[in-house]
Amino acid sequence: MADNNTANFPVTLTFPTQSFRRIPNPYTKLENGNREANMYMAICDVKSIPDSIPMGTNPREQNLNTNVAKKIKASLLNTSALDFYLLNRGILLSAKEVSFNNYSNELTIVFSDPEVHGNVDGGHTYRTILKYRDSLDPEQQFVKIEILTGVEDIFQSLAAARNTSVQVQDKSIAELEGRFDIIKNVLKDQPYMARVFFKENDSGDIDVADLLSILMMFNIKRFPDRETFPTISYSGKKKCIDLYIQDHKEFGESEQNPYVKMKNIMPDIFKLYDTIEKNMNNYYRAKNPGGRYGAIKGVVIPRQGVELKSKFMFESMDVQSPNGFIYPILGAFRALVTEKDGLYTWKKNPFAVLDKVGPELVESTVSMSRSLGNNPQSTGKDSNLWKTLYMTVAMAAMD
């Protein structure tokens, strides 16, 4: 790919869009307002984005090895969740002119000044799209593009404002305050801990938020029975972080803290996650000998040259299942947790129970997904499914 910092100006780019809209300038009638500025919004197929957008106007270097870039890549390539354009902030461009052809649905953008026209924000998104979009099919992922014209006089202020660093996240503050020491001490000998990052811009590919959302499923202080279910583990990771911090502030590292109570079963929980993840295909085929689990919407099969690995133990897998399937199944094993002598323990060996009811759990989950329009995201949020799976595990434990 050519270095777009040295693009020959003027640059005129024409490409198709899924949708396009001009946002009226609210200051056109005010004498002291910026009446020259105009805003345009477009939703575009990532495969249609030109590879020659000028980049000299972006104040950041694009390092695709950062955690931010890795998250963008993961979201882009997550074809089980076709919502990249919603989850990603998109690309901001400054341009001289914008025009749209209503008949061909093509957008034309003119960049005439290398000092003030080009990519202002979203450089990591743009570079990531260019690098990985060949792995996608047409109309599989879309990106939002915002174009501003008439902002040459305020360009420096615009670039500074749009590239202001995100406020320090709660988990980063919690890390500085030592609130994750409970988890670090319990899991220090686990091979995946070297890959866990506890604050923004740390290296690693496992977010501590993932650990907290999974552990939340086994917090029998907050979810003591079959009347309440930790669906927030799937739909609200930010909430899981907040509740963990809340428990730590209230109980510290005393034995009243549910995560301290969890220390004896904590390694098993993440091993159980991987065991479920690796065996989803086998469990499905046990109930459907002639079925193709890989054909179910949301399930990913390996592309040529790409090996699928389990989340924690990093072991090879033949398919990758959506979290909307794995989380409710894993959460069902809360039915096996009880408190004894101030610590959480298993009523029955969870791996033995999984061997027994794994096929039934997967069958129920896939059936629910189909009833919800083959939507893994809705499946992961469905409290009726969480209850069904919980009761299945509870009944197995009684045998």
- Burial of 40 from C-beta contacts in 10 A (0-12 / 13-18 / 19+): buried
Considering the chain, what percentage of its residues have pLDDT values greater than 90? 69
- For residues 65 and 272, the model is more confident at 272
φ, ψ (nearest 5 deg) of residue 83: -140, 30
Residue range 161-166: average pLDDT? 59
- Interval 277-293: pLDDT, tens: 999 999 999 999 989 99
Query: What pLDDT, on the 0 to 100 scale, is given for residue 315?
Result: 94
pLDDT at 165: 46
Q: Residue range 207-224: average pLDDT?
A: 95
CB contact at 8 A, 67 and 172 = no
DSSP string, 286-320: HH-TT--GGGSTT-B-PPTT--EE-TTT--EES-B
Predicted local confidence at residue 35, as pLDDT:
63
CB 215, CB 337: distance < 8 Å: no
Q: Residue 260's closest CA among 184, 356, 354?
A: 184
Nearest to 57 by CA among 104, 114, 18, 99: 114
Q: Over 80: is that where the pLDDT of 34 sits?
A: no
Look at residue 173 in the predicted model and tell me its pLDDT: 79
Q: Residue 25's pLDDT band (boundaries 50, 70, 90)?
A: confident
pLDDT digits (tens, 9 = 90+) for 273-332: 999 999 999 999 999 998 999 999 889 888 877 889 999 999 999 999 999 999 999 999
The pTM assigned to this predicted structure is: 0.64
**CA–CA distances in Å: residue 131 to residues 16, 31, 64, 126, 305:** 20, 45, 10, 9, 16
Confidence of residue 28 (pLDDT cuts 50, 70, 90): low
